[in-house]
Amino acid sequence: MRRKNRLRLGEGRAAAILIVPFGILFVVGILLPLGYGLTMSFFTEKRSGLGVGTPETIFVWFANYAKVLSDPVFLQSFGTLLLYCAIYIPIIILVPLALALFVDGAYKWARKTIPLLVFIPHAVPGLVAAIIWAYLYTPAISPVLKALGDAGDILSPFTNSSVLVPSLVNIAAWEWIGYNLIIYFTALQALDQSTLEAARVDGAGQVRIAWSVKIPQVTSTTFVVALFAVIGALQLFTEPTLLRSNDPTISSTLTPAMYAYLVTFTRNDYGAGVAASILIAVLAAVISYSLNAFGRKKGFA
Amino acid sequence: MSAATRTARSRPTRVGPSRVLAHAVLIAAAVYTLFPLVWLFTAVTKTTGDLYTTGMFEWNGFRLFDNLGALFSESNGIYLHWYLNSVLYAGFGALIGAFLSVCAGYAFEKYSFAGKERLFGVVLLGVLIPTSALALPLYLLASATGVVNTFWAVLIPSICNPFGVYLARIFARGYIPDEVLEAARVDGAGELTTFFGISWRLMLPGFATIFLFQFIGIWNNFFLPLVMLSNQDLFPVSLGLYNWNSQVALEPQFYTLVMVGAFVAIVPLIIVFILTQRFWRAGLTAGSLK
């Protein structure tokens, strides 16, 4: 009983005890590196003319940001990303939504097994998914490309560089369609059944119900799906890096994250590398903020 | 979560052309999903030479066990080393991370204190920062403090899981009625006694969900170990396979090693994943709530 009394603390102190351990990790794992990176992005290392001796660290204001933003290679990586998003975002919203609508109206066996099967790739690490697809894109070993013969060479990013971006989209779609399918399917199951019943009694067909009743009601889910898709796309690194290890002719600065990595580790320009990273993070923040604000204005989110 | 609504629904039993089409599309989606995995499972049973010359379902002998032997003996069994590293990073990281997330999420939901929502806003901000944008600053910080290229350089940033705190708060709202806490307070139990004695048990399914999400997240992480580690003995599986894959152009036998390595890495993940479906659904439902 005495022990119990000793542990009897106010809510504030209990909250502090439960939150502080996480808080320390949050500071060490997120705030501190963010602050340190921000500081580093305002400095550059200058070596003496011959490139020997201890480098001198000097404060350069926004010079690193200016350097990165005026680098055509960095801007080009955003161009690639834009193309990637233009293909990826519609696919990763529409395909899971369509599949979820089909599952919602399907037989019981399909409702039980299909979401589970399509969700399985999400357990496969991104790097391993990229490996499997890279080999399926290799004409000499891929059963699909072998069967297609000459047409197979056109579909492989290793023999036809113009399908590189769609090939990356395919890997990401394979990993995420099931994830989004479950999100949509759950949202559809939570819909008010009486509205659907009313539409049915009014003589609306399945397609009409899906289009006019179900889809408008899951718009807020679409915002969440789109938000995660954009943030994920901005980080695109693992899959293209893996494909590059099979085909060195793929650009080492294909995506913004690859650019930041290259500048940091190959050019050893830490200031510029961190500046690029921070620009990516800022863009992610701006996009999620505006998507949220837009959704709120429209009353979806 | 929506079990009640699910049982209450009635289904039309008509079999029309649209229904057949819908099922055809669903089966096509499942085939697309499973094909790469089925191919991987056939490829690991072949020699590297047969990979080039045989069709997907053609065999010149079943070589899975030879390939597994080659995998585990390559470079003095380094693959097993990588595997254990992955288990340690993901296991410890997710265990500690999920525990701390549940503590913090519970406190955010059930206690009132000054500046609570503002503090929670900061945590949410952490959810939205792309982890790959954090990796380079983390690397520079680790270099400055000398922990770069150590076990801790990967483990410590992996433990921190703001999304887990967000999920834990939602779970605390759903799983623990305020009446339970009121009753405990009336009985004279302290807040922490109540948390560890009563609430913790009610939060267990939430803990399991957060643990699974974080475990897979850490196991899947590639960018952070890539920037932090240069010592092969500290690599997780993903980084090790990446290294091997970089050699396939020169030494094609690595094709087989990489595929068998990938196979061994994902089979346990897929089995656990299928067995824990209900926790995943709980997490996805809570995570997409607004």
- In tens, the pLDDT along B149-195 reads 999 999 999 999 999 999 999 999 988 888 888 888 888 888 888 88
Query: Do A149 and A168 belong together in one domain?
Result: yes
Per-residue b or e along B62-87, where b marks 16 or more CB atoms closer than 10 Å to that residue's CB: ebeeebbebbeebeeebbebbbebbe
Whether residues B151 and B268 share a domain: the answer is yes
Interval A196-209 mean pLDDT: 84
The encoded tokens of residue A250 equal 């793929």
**B21 & B144 share domain:** no
Residues B250 and B184 in one domain: yes
Given this model, what pLDDT does residue A193 score? 83
Type of residue at B134: L
Report yes or no on B144 lying in a domain.
yes
For chain B, what is the domain count?
2
Q: Do residue A87 and residue A30 come from a single domain?
A: no
B77 lies in the same domain as B49:
no
Which pLDDT band, with edges at 50, 70 and 90, does A288 fall under?
confident
Q: How confident is the model at residue A5 (pLDDT cuts 50, 70, 90)?
A: very low
> In whole angstroms, how far apart are CA B140 and each of A86, A295, B113, B136?
34, 37, 36, 6
In terms of domains, do B37 and B161 share one?
no
Asked if B105 and B163 count as a contact pair (C-beta separation under 8 A), the reply is no
B positions 151-210 inside 8 Å of A (CB): 156-157, 159-160, 162, 165, 188-193, 195
Residue type, B147: V
- Whether A180 has a pLDDT exceeding 90, the answer reads yes
B2, part of any domain:
no
Contact A260 B55 (CB under 8 A): no
Size of interface A-B (CB pairs under 8 A): 312
pLDDT > 70? residue A85: yes
Domain co-membership, A255 together with A114: yes
Instruction: Give the pLDDT of residue A300.
Output: 61
Are the beta carbons of A164 and A157 closer than 8 angstroms?
A: yes
Q: Is the complex ipTM higher than 0.85?
A: yes
pLDDT value of position B289: 55
Question: Counting beta carbons within 10 angstroms of the beta carbon of residue A94, is it exposed (0 to 12), middle (13 to 18) or buried (19 or more)?
Answer: exposed
pLDDT at residue A52 above 80? Answer: no
Report how many domains make up chain A.
Answer: 2
- Is the same domain home to A153 and A217? yes
Domain, as residue range, for B184:
71-287
Co-location of B20 and B111 in the same domain: no
Same-domain check for residues B112 and B146: yes
B47 and B186 part of one domain: no
| CATH number for position A175 | 1.10.3720.10
Task: Indicate the residue of A16, A133, A264 with minimum beta-carbon distance to B36.
Answer: A133
pLDDT at A6 over 50: no
For every residue of chain A, DSSP letters joined together read -HHHHHT---HHHHHHHHHHHHHHHHIIIIIHHHHHHHHHTTEEEE--TTS-SPPEEEE-TTHHHHHHHT-HHHHHHHHHHHHHHHHHHHHHHHHHHHHHHHHHTS-HHHHHHHHHHHHGGGGS-HHHHHHHHHHHT-TTT-HHHHHHTHHHHHH-TTT-GGGHHHHHHHHHHHHHHHHHHHHHHHHHHTS-HHHHHHHHHTT--HHHHIIIIIHHHTHHHHHHHHHHHHHHHHT--HHHHHHHHH-TTS-TTSSHHHHHHHHHHTS--HHHHHHHHHHHHHHHHHHHHHHHHHHHHTT--
Structural domain contains residue B9: no
Chain A nearest-CA residue for B55? A143
Residues 6+ apart with CB under 8 A from B8: A193
The CATH number of the domain holding residue B192 is: 1.10.3720.10
A55 with A154, same domain?
no
Residue B76 Cα, gap to closest chain A Cα (Å)? 23
Do residues B47 and B159 both lie within one domain?
no
Q: Is residue B258 part of a domain?
A: yes
CA–CA separation, B185 and A149 (whole Å): 74
Query: Domain range holding A175?
Result: 63-297
Q: Do B58 and B98 sit in the same domain of this protein?
A: no
Residue B1 located in a structural domain: no
List chain B residues with CB under 8 Å of A123: 216, 266, 269-270, 272-273
How does DSSP classify residue B233? G
- Reported confidence tier of residue B118, pLDDT bands at 50, 70, 90: very high
CB A284 within 8 A of CB A256: no
- Count the alpha carbons within 13 Å of A118 in the hemisphere toward its beta carbon: 28
Q: Taking 80 as the threshold, does the pLDDT of residue B1 lie above it?
A: no
Residues B27 and B165 in one domain: no
A30 contacts B126? CB cut-off 8 A: yes
Nearest to A36 among B18, B103, B137 (CB): B137
Amino acid of residue A109 = W
Residue B103 lies in a domain: yes
- B119-134, pLDDT tens digit by residue? 999 998 888 888 878 9
> Residue B135 has what DSSP assignment?
H
**Does residue B11 lie in a domain region?**
no
Asked, for residue B86, whether it belongs to a domain, the answer is yes
Taking the Cβ of residue B227 and every Cβ of chain A, the question of whether any pair is shorter than 8 Å is answered with: yes
Q: Are residues B149 and B249 in the same domain?
A: yes
Q: Do B132 and A15 touch (CB under 8 A)?
A: no
Which range has the worst mean pLDDT, A172-176, B101-105, B273-277? B273-277
Q: What is the CA radius of gyration of chain A?
A: 25
